[in-house]
């Protein structure tokens, strides 16, 4: 096995260094290519370094470990095997869920050397399969479909609060009243959501996490970490030779990308 590279994303410096030191003892050949202090940095470093293994703290500033995994699943280059992920968490419930949904592994804080050694052995066994190790990305995608907040608003989920009918968006000194049925899609941008209809687009101060539970999940599908589409306005879903899906909307020139996490929504019935 050639030397492998790992990234540690942990916002507590002492814990990050402790984990690095323990890995150095248990797996001397493993190269720690980067230490990230928050989720945003973890994504940037991972896409730059393209490591073989990610140790992701579940609860980090900027992005959680799950959000980091989701963004990397969407952005990871096709030619590079998706990294094995080990979640580092102080919360048992995440760990249990992660294993139930086929996570690579997890370690609980405070990290014990015996437990980390088992993780190292599992990682080494899986990496021994080489670049052809089966379906790593699909394993992560399936896990994220269950774990990432916001996934509840998907077809078939009927347990929802009262549905939103009218959206009030400030436009200068006016309030634009937008019928939800007229919305083509919602697109998250930093602290705002862009509400797009055929006639106009309007910003509202909200997040997709706040908005999703208020939408009819049989009609509004999240198709990307930043995009929710009104399926009644989808004309066609195009899949290219790499498997990436693009949506064409009725009466609109806009084309929406479907991320890998949500591609399963467009499988043929």
Chain segment 45-54, per-residue pLDDT in tens: 999 999 999 9
pLDDT tens-place string over residues 173-202:
889 999 999 999 999 987 899 999 999 999
The tokens describing 150, both together, are 């916001």
Reading the block at residue 245, the tokens are 């899906």
Name the percent of the chain lying above pLDDT 90: 56
User: CA-to-CA distance for 116 and 104, rounded, in angstroms?
Assistant: 13
Nearest to 88 by CA among 124, 52, 112: 112
Question: Cα–Cα distance between 254 and 246 in angstroms, integer?
Answer: 10
Cα 51 from chain centre: 18
Q: Which residues contact 97 (CB under 8 A, 6 or more apart)?
A: 146, 147
98 vs 47 pLDDT, higher one? 47
Residue 216: pLDDT above 70?
A: yes
Question: Token pair 């050949």 is at which residue?
Answer: 29
The pLDDT value recorded for residue 153 is 44
| Percentage helix, strand, coil for the chain under 3-state DSSP, each rounded to 5 | 35, 30, 35
For 85, the enclosing helix (H) or strand (E) is strand 84-89
**For residue 152, is pLDDT > 50?**
no
Cα–Cα distance, 113 to 238 (Å, whole number): 49
Confidence of residue 140 (pLDDT cuts 50, 70, 90): confident
If you search the block for the tokens 């990871």, which residue do you land on? 76
104 pLDDT band, cuts 50/70/90, is low
Cβ–Cβ under 8 Å, residues 71 and 43: yes
């Amino acid at each position: 096995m050639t030397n492998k590279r790992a990234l540690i994303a942990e916002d507590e410096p002492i814990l990050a260094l402790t984990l690095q030191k323990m890995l150095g003892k248990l797996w001397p050949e493993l190269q720690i290519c980067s230490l990230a202090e928050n989720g945003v940095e973890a994504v940037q470093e991972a896409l730059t370094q393209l490591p073989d293994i990610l140790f992701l703290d579940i609860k980090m500033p900027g992005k959680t470990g799950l959000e980091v995994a989701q963004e990397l699943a969407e952005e990871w280059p096709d030619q590079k095997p998706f990294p094995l992920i080990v979640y580092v968490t102080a919360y048992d419930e995440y760990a249990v869920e992660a294993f139930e949904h086929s996570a690579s592994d997890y370690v609980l804080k405070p990290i014990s050397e015996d437990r980390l050694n088992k993780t190292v052995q599992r990682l080494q066994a899986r990496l021994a399969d080489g670049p052809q190790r089966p379906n790593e990305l699909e394993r992560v995608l399936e896990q994220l479909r269950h774990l990432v907040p916001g996934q509840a608003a998907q077809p078939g989920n009927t347990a929802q609060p009262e549905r939103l009918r009218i959206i009030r968006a400030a436009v200068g000194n006016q309030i634009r009243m937008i019928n939800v049925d007229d919305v083509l899609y919602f697109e998250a941008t930093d602290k705002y959501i862009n509400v797009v209809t055929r006639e106009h687009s309007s910003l509202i101060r909200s997040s997709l996490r706040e908005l999703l539970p208020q939408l009819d999940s049989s009609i509004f599908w999240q198709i990307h970490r930043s995009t929710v589409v009104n399926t009644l306005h989808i004309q066609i879903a195009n899949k290219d030779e790499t498997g990436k899906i693009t949506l064409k909307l009725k009466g609109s020139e806009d084309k929406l990308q479907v991320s890998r996490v949500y591609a399963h929504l467009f499988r043929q019935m």
